[in-house]
Copies of this chain bind each other. A is one copy, B any other.
Amino acid sequence: MAAVKVSNFVFECEATDGAARCGVLATPRGDIRTPAFMPVGTAATVKALTMDMVRDAGADIILGNTYHLMLRPGAERIHRLGGLHHFCGWDGPILTDSGGFQVFSLAALARKTEEGVTFQSHIDGSRHLLTPERSIEIQADLLGADISMQFDECTPFPATHEEAQSSMELSLRWAERSRAAFGEREDQALFGIVQGSVFEDLRAHSAKALTGMGFDGYAVGGLAVGEGFDAMVQTLGHTVPHLPADKPRYLMGVGRPVDIVEAVARGIDMFDCVIPTRSGRHGQAWSDAGPVNLKKACFAEDQRPLDETLDCPASRDYACAYLHHLVRANEYLGAILLSWHNVAYFENLMARIRTAIREGRLDALRQQISGA
């Protein structure tokens, strides 16, 4: 009799609407309702918010960044302080990225070899080596992530077919090493990451090879890197059908509401993006019609709240005129309230998406979300 793999991560699909799925990813630290949006907690904080605000806004899970945390305050230090959950005061599930993306986008002198990537910290210039084994050690052992990501290379865009293939194949070899380093764990999960740029054959190959390695979930990486909305949606259409139906699918680093609904319609279950908090720090409030800039003079005496249908104090209890004033005066509270509203808007959008899927009317919801 073959050994049965035991995992306390169970993905249950409760309803479908076309390719879209509504379900729950059960984890030892609580259920993640899918499709799910994960606010980004880069440096062990979802910027400008307390964790209570994040929770109240409807988030089931947050994301942490391996690259930032390994440099400051340091992965070993967080481990000594009781792990990332205890450190930042979030007791729900946390997904960490592998550091593969930031090491190329933020670090200085990043140098890639088969072994991994050497780089200099953008904070203090110190030298580091990140490998699949070290990334998994940081994520799973030191930070204590509930969901770790394989170490990969986010293929730059544009890339020739040859470049994309070579990069994707390296990511597959790093996937195998990540998988081996992770081993078998009951209470932690590991996701693989499909690469292949915008090339259908490469995406299919990557997806199938990863599926053969047996991950707890599958991410689509290397999108939202400049290829544009149409190419992103088309690539999802190529990729998702090659992923196993019984595992969650995660589109990394995406995106705007319009990106999210279209990706959900193609079978994606999980998202993360800095948009809600970054927009919030820049005076923008999200709605179905896209982002609005509260700095605009038209809000100076607008007594309406941002969205009184949202069960979030920032959306419901403050007049746009007050938010306009705070943004103009560059007050912390402007960033706080707009970030809070934006996270609440994104989480509420996911709740509306889940309901729409259950009721078989996702198409109608897609029509309401502006491409702005």
Contacts and interface: CB of A to CB of B under 8 A. Distances in A.
Contact of A300 (B47, B77, B324, B337): B77
Question: Interface range on chain A: under 10, 10 to 19, 20 to 34, or 35 or more?
Answer: 35 or more
A336 B50 contact: yes
Contacts of A318: 89
Contacts of A328: 72-73
Given A72-B328, A325-B44, A333 B49 contact: yes
A49 B300 CA distance: 22
User: Copies of this chain, how many?
Assistant: 2
A88 B329 contact: no
B72 A301 contact: no
A65 B88 CA distance: 35
Given A81-B303, A336-B336, A87 B321 contact: yes
Contacts of A319: 81, 87
Nearest to A324: B73
Contacts of A82: 303
Across the A-B interface, give the 8 residue pairs with the lowest CB-CB distance, nearest first: A48-B332, A45-B333, A73-B325, A43-B329, A45-B331, A81-B321, A87-B322, A72-B329
29 contacts: A43-B325, A43-B326, A43-B329, A44-B325, A45-B329, A45-B331, A45-B332, A45-B333, A47-B333, A48-B332, A48-B333, A48-B336, A49-B333, A50-B333, A52-B313, A72-B325, A73-B300, A73-B325, A73-B328, A77-B301, A80-B301, A81-B303, A81-B322, A87-B319, A87-B322, A87-B325, A89-B322, A281-B332, A332-B332
